[in-house]
Homo-oligomer: A and B are copies of this chain.
């Protein structure tokens, strides 16, 4: 008998799950129906800043697999079709065709929820004015690009609201498009995913790139001109003229449907799953991607992290399990990398405030080194901050700000965190060394040595 798998959401988690399940089971064993309310499937939302900035030429470059390609692989993907209700008892979902308005029920044997995240959009006066843009979807990106065309060539002023990953990436994109760029940041320093001392380095580097960052500048209003289009952004810190405004404030799990169906949500509003990505307490319901919470392996509690790489892993695991194979997603250590122009920014594990929040006592060590041997051309400063647990010396987190080679160096720490290494153990790591790639002591090793010394000093105090 043919089982039916229903997937809600046609992006990374949902379509990875569908594709992996299809690889394991043919259409005679498993029929797969996927609902997506948008026009597109399986695209890289993370790539939108680079498309808007002009590094990526075409919107379609960001699409990994089109709806047609999914259909050719035996997945009945229905775009512009929005699921409006999950009936768990009846094992069915109701979906509405957004073109015709007709709605119908579809039964399932197994259900995958990949409803993603929605951008935080504060209820500010003027937030819906023309010229104010989010950058969450391909449609958002296209609207922003169209909007840029309507800005004159004499003076081009962009205001980016938010100084996290999306904010700094969009600052770079607007700079590349020839705009004067102001980033309005609610917090103490940009990149709140770093500790403020490391965020300060980002702030300084952004200054150097010609990007104005205003800290402690919570937005209170967006003003429009006589043509109804955005003209300025008002904050507690002052008013900033704007020809275009980009919102990069972050996202939250899109779990409206799940909540209405009574599925279990965590403290951050994301679905809760077990190691196999099955929704807790629901045998045949699975969830992954930006709509779930994930276990932070360092803090030992759940977090919400919207990131394509996790969504793809979730989809892979769900697809394996739904397709009769086996897979688990053990959790994350909180690795994230980004760049603004040639400045690379990376973090993994816990910040100081994260460690405090879960009751961990720690020492910190911050060092400055270079990404290549000091004498090698292009050697540029790199700052590494390391947190280690008091007494045990267990690595808790690493933050890196620098130029060439800074970002992916954080992977060393990501693996060490996963393995539960101490900073003392890390000092002996056999990392790749050659003058074009590293000083003879890799910056991560230098930080580990200093952290190790700090652990000993604190322990004997």
Binds B, one of A181-189, A249-257, A369-377: A369-377
Contact indicator A407/B437 (Cβ below 8 Å): yes
From known contacts A407-B434, A412-B415, infer whether A313 and B375 are also in contact, taking CB-CB under 8 Å. Answer: no
Q: In the bound complex, how far is the Cα of B416 from the Cα of A83, in angstroms?
A: 42
Contact indicator A436/B348 (Cβ below 8 Å): no
Q: Which of A47, A344, A412 is the most central at the interface, judged by chain B CB atoms within 10 Å of its CB?
A: A47
Q: Is A337 an interface residue (CB 8 A)?
A: yes
Q: In the bound complex, how far is the Cα of B424 from the Cα of A158, in angstroms?
A: 46
- In the assembled complex, how far is the CB of residue A21 from the closest CB belonging to chain B, in whole angstroms? 16
Q: In the bound complex, how far is the Cα of B438 from the Cα of A347, in angstroms?
A: 15
Q: Which of A12, A44, A336 is the most central at the interface, judged by chain B CB atoms within 10 Å of its CB?
A: A44
Q: Which of A12, A377, A436 is the most central at the interface, judged by chain B CB atoms within 10 Å of its CB?
A: A436
Chain B residues contacting A430 (CB-CB under 8 Å) are 310, 332-335, 348, 414, 418
- In the assembled complex, how far is the CB of residue A438 from the closest CB belonging to chain B, in whole angstroms? 7
Helix, strand, loop or mixed for chain A's interface?
Answer: loop
Q: In the bound complex, how far is the Cα of B433 from the Cα of A411, in angstroms?
A: 10
Q: Is A55 an interface residue (CB 8 A)?
A: yes
Q: In the bound complex, how far is the Cα of B332 from the Cα of A183, in angstroms?
A: 46
Chain B residues contacting A429 (CB-CB under 8 Å) are 411, 414-415, 418
Q: In the bound complex, how far is the Cα of B432 from the Cα of A308, in angstroms?
A: 11
From known contacts A329-B428, A421-B419, A429-B418, infer whether A47 and B412 are also in contact, taking CB-CB under 8 Å. Answer: no
Complex interface residues of chain A between 403 and 461 (CB less than 8 A to chain B): 405, 407-412, 414-416, 418-419, 421, 425, 427-438, 440-442
Q: In the bound complex, how far is the Cα of B307 from the Cα of A114, in angstroms?
A: 49
Complex interface residues of chain A between 65 and 119 (CB less than 8 A to chain B): none
Contact indicator B432/A336 (Cβ below 8 Å): yes
Chain B residues contacting A421 (CB-CB under 8 Å) are 415, 418-419
Chain B residues contacting A332 (CB-CB under 8 Å) are 430
Q: Give me 8 other A-B pairs in contact (C-beta within 8 A), A56-B376, A407-B437, A411-B432 excluded.
A: A46-B433, A46-B434, A50-B375, A408-B438, A411-B412, A414-B429, A414-B431, A415-B419
